[in-house]
Amino acid sequence: MGRFGRGSRPASRFGVRSVAGQAFVWQLAVLLLLAAIATVALVLKTTSDAQNDARHRALAVAAGFAHAPGLVQALQSPDPTAELQPLALRAQKTAGVDFVDVLSTSGIRYTDPIPGLIGTRAQGDIARAAAGASFTEIFQGSPQNAVRALVPVQDAHGRVVGLVSTGVQTTDVAAVVDRQLPVLIGAAVGALVLAAGGATLVSRRLRRQTHGLGPVEMTRMYEHHDAVLHSVREGVLILDADRRLVLANDEARHLLGLRADAEGRALEELGLDPGIAALLRSAGTVTDEVHPAGGRLLAVNLRPTAVGSGPSGCVATLRDTTELLAVAGRAEEARGRLELLYDAGLRIGSTLDVVGTAEELTGVAVPRLADFVSVDLLEDLLSGDGATPRPTAGAELRRVANRSVLEGAPEHVIGVGEVALHADDSPQARCLATGRSELHPTWMAVPVIARGVTLGVVEFLRFRRPTPFQADDLTMAEELVARASLSLDNARRFTREHTTALTLQHSLLPRRLPDQSAVEAAFRYLPADPELGVGGDWFDVIPLSGARVALVVGDVVGHGIAASATMGQLRAAVRTLADADLPPDELLTQLDDLVMRLASDTGAAGDAPTAETGATCVYAVYDPVSGGCSLARAGHPSPAVVRPGGVAEILDLPAGPPLGLGGLPFETLETVLPEGSLLALYTDGLVESRQRPLDTGLALLRRALAGPDGSPAPDGSLDLLCEQVVGSLLPDAPADDAALLVARVRRLDPGRVATWDVAADFAAVAGIRAQAARRLSAWGLEEASFVTELVISELVTNAIRYGGAPVRLRLIHDRSLICEVFDGSGTAPHLRRARVFDEGGRGLLLVAQLTQRWGTRQTAGGKIIWCEQELSGDLSGVSSSAPP
């Protein structure tokens, strides 16, 4: 069987039925014609080669000169001609071309071999070179016809700043051809001889390559290949070594928009997208590299092709992946939305502040979703009136935040903080009334709803980007607002609770310290960061009987309204217990019981006290007569003392358990404070934090109290000292509340204190009364003498009758006149109303009616009954140093 089918047979070597035979006959027929035109063809070929050589030489010289160092600087100099003309003439002479011109981007000559042409405009395709293309052309015009090359000069940023034009005159090309004409004629004759032998060789080779196929079979096979090439859904491009288009199938023409006469044109003349053109210009191997081209996304495969040992061209295949571009676009859009939601989850609600949360919402939405975003909230909600139903009429909204892509948000109508009343038919009122969003091409309105309560409206506007809002944009906006709504509501609730707790706390803390003579006091209270809530720190200065004063600082565990309320209860309890004149340890014991009762009242039956109901406290009592100070603490930091001329120290006060634990005793420390000593009571928020251990805080406190020169409050101002301490120890936003109470102790003038021992005899009462009257006269208190003598008679008589020895009377001239009677009995009297026929029981009633305050306090050896009389302003300030 034959190679190509059952009916085929081997062809003769030069049979006319075969392609090889017909080719041989045809070659013999055209040999004579070839001989006739060989000379002409060779002449034309020589001319073309000369022109190509001129093109390459001109382009090489132009490219080399365009990239010469310093050319860009010379073009940008004040006189480019002066710097470039010598260089151009030297390059022209060295390269062997007819001219080297440097042009501006508009074609004005800076250099030229003919000086008269400098400054004139060159002809030709100047705009194409100014656009960044390098090319050669056959130029016909003034001053001479030439083969010319144009190359742009680019600066470091890729901008075209000038042009270089070089060329060879066409007369020189013709002269080359004339010189080679004898050689060409001889070559043509030799070609005739070689053609005859070559025809035979070609016919033999063709016979082997076609396997003896006839013209019909060859035509059918070519048509089949051509049909496959042009019907395949993949573009095919074949370029030669010079990157000229050899072949492009129909799909390639369609994908790249090639014109009908594209074959044979250089790559730069095809009008391809820069990315595709750069890829085809490369000599590498590329597999499925994606490039945009004419609104399409093309996957390009590039393979070099070698023809013998000559320069290689390339074959490129193109596949349309535009649908993948659309899918990728939708995927990119979806990814952008997911990133927006992710950022919203991270950024919105980072603070418990209404304004801060609203600003975070606008910061996330601008510019990725809208060009302008505003957040307006209902005025009554912001004012703390609580949640209200959705309004059915107009709405009064306050602008909380807005943001724009334009600096300063010039397009806003309502400024931040301003209030606007919207009509019933306004989009804002409709959103508030219906709870539904509104979508328009340039704006969207989305209601802010949290926990079933409408808080306000968020508006999204577009005025810069051309694409209108779509349903997907509204969905995204609603998702952002929904995330922000809970944060806004939490911030609103927190702000309202924080304001309430702060108001409660301020109402429960002393706004000013009471007037008394024992100490000069100052305080500072610094609340913690608002996001942490109001704490339960408190302080107090409580005047006691006998011109004494109690200093107290406490700290309730926890934050918020509950901590503030507990603090108020404990402060009131401390004041009540202080009025009973209990020693510090007994007062803390009573306070401990109270905290346990509060814990049991707030918890379920049988529950143990929780940490939220615990508290710490330090309580100190100072006596300005003796200078003695009694202190006790319950889980609280020890007070600091600065004695005159000394350094600050922390008192070694026995540590009691925190209040609310029960079952453990408290201990009292007795110490004497010289006049002018400083006593500082504080809460742990002042000296301790997560970033600073307690020991470091205490060292800083001692240094701040002592002052830079070792003398506290050098200007005598305790307020200044408090500022100094707080500024040294606390940051701008402390993590816990801090309270500081500083007291400078005083001593009463000994001449203002008189003490008498009384014999256990009723007859001694008259003598004591007379001595007291003389002392009052010496103090200038004659007006108080009558009442004082009555009070002394009653109290001393009762002490002798019902008390025990020893009995002692003491008068203290302070802001009031204080009368104290001590006896050795621990039995305290009680005020009662005497019946008509009772002989006694009216003494204390008389004392209570004649004086402003009275009471009893226990001492280590008995009790003291005391009373106080108010003095007029001119009497209370009189000092006396009269002897007792």
**Is residue 327 within 8 Å of 359, Cβ to Cβ?**
no
Rounded to the nearest 10 degrees, the angle between the axes of helix 354-365 and helix 471-508 is 160
Please report the pLDDT score of residue 775 as a whole number.
Answer: 94
Residues in a beta bridge with 672: 628
pLDDT grade, residue 496 (50/70/90)? confident
Residue 741: predicted pLDDT = 95
Gap between the Cα atoms of 365 and 454, Å rounded: 21
DSSP string, 760-826: S-TTHHHHHHHHHHHHHHHTT-GGGHHHHHHHHHHHHHHHHHHS-S-EEEEEEESSEEEEEEEES--
pLDDT of residue 605: 43
Looking at residue 65, its pLDDT comes to: 83
Starting at the edge strand found earlier in the chain, the sheet holding 146-154 runs 99-103, 160-169, 146-154, 135-139
8 Å CB contact between 401 and 415: no
Closest to 682 measured CA to CA, from 642, 709, 722, 710: 722
Query: Angle 101-107-111 (CA atoms, 0-180°, nearest 5)?
Result: 25
Question: Which range has the top average pLDDT, 1-15, 183-197, 331-345, 734-748?
Answer: 734-748
Please name every residue paired with 741 in a beta bridge, in sequence order, or none if there are none: 523, 681
Give CA–CA dist 181/198, Å, rounded: 24
Task: Residue count of the chain, please give it.
Answer: 884
Tell me the average pLDDT across 692-712.
81
Pairing type for strands 655-656 and 628-634 reads parallel
The yes-or-no verdict on residue 876 having pLDDT over 80 is no
Q: Which residue has the higher pLDDT, 554 or 197?
A: 554
Nearest by Cα to 135 from 123, 122, 150: 150
The pLDDT assigned to 486 comes to 87
> Any idea which of 243-247, 302-306, 841-845, 850-854 has the lowest mean pLDDT?
841-845
Instruction: Look up residue 562 and give its two tokens.
Output: 């509950």
**DSSP assignment, residue 115?**
G
Answer for the pair 808, 546: CB distance below 8 angstroms, yes or no: no
Q: Residue 572: pLDDT above 50?
A: yes
Helices (H) and strands (E) in the chain, counts: 22, 31
Torsion angle of the four alpha carbons 849, 852, 853, 854, in this order, in degrees rounded to the nearest 10: -40
* Higher per-residue pLDDT: 401 or 190: 401
Backbone angles phi, psi at 648, to 5 degrees: -75, 140
From CA 213, how far away is CA 223, in angstroms rounded? 15
Q: What is the mean pLDDT of residues 566-575?
A: 89
- Those residues whose C-beta lies under 8 Å from the C-beta of residue 732, and which sit 6 or more positions away, are none
State phi, psi for 14 to the nearest 5 degrees.
-125, 35
- Check residue 224 and report its DSSP letter: H
Question: What integer pLDDT is reported at residue 375 of this predicted model?
Answer: 93
Place of tokens 């309890």: 573
Mean pLDDT: which of 43-52, 156-165, 488-497 is highest? 156-165
Q: Who has greater pLDDT, 262 or 23?
A: 262
More confident residue, 231 or 749: 749
Which sign does the torsion angle of CA 593, 595, 596, 602 carry?
A: positive
Give the strand pairing for 372-378 and 313-320.
unpaired
pLDDT per residue over 587-639, tens digit each? 999 999 999 888 777 654 445 444 456 899 999 999 999 999 999 999 999 99
- Compute the mean pLDDT over every residue in the chain, rounded to the nearest whole number: 81
Q: Please give the pLDDT value at position 324.
A: 60
- Strands 235-239, 245-248: pairing is antiparallel
Residue 289 has pLDDT above 50, yes or no: yes
E runs forming strands in 118-190: 135-139, 146-154, 160-169
Given a contact cutoff of 8 angstroms between Cβ atoms, the answer to whether 739 and 525 are in contact is yes
CA distance 258 to 249: 10
Helix (H) / strand (E) containing 176:
helix 170-210
Above 60 in pLDDT, residue 882?
no
Higher pLDDT, 201 or 7: 201
Name the residue among 372, 357, 363 with its Cα closest to residue 460.
372
User: Could you tell me if 711 and 744 are in contact, meaning their C-beta atoms sit under 8 angstroms apart?
Assistant: no
Question: What is the predicted pLDDT for the residue at 210?
Answer: 67
Tokens 């082997």, residue located? 208
Least-confidence region, from 402-406, 496-500, 677-681: 496-500
Q: How far apart are CA 375 and CA 385, in angstroms?
A: 19
Using DSSP's 3-state secondary structure scheme, residue 168 falls into strand
Do 487 and 357 form a contact (C-beta atoms < 8 A)? yes
Give the per-residue pLDDT at 323.
67
Higher pLDDT, 186 or 62: 62
Taking the alpha carbons of 57, 62, 63, 67 in that order, is the dihedral positive or negative?
A: positive
Lowest mean pLDDT among 67-76, 595-604, 721-730: 595-604
pLDDT at residue 574 greater than cutoff 90: yes
The arrangement of strands across the sheet holding 245-248 comes to 245-248, 235-239, 313-320, 296-305, 286-293
Q: How far, in Å, CA of 681 to CA of 631, rounded? A: 11
Two tokens, residue 435: 């709870």
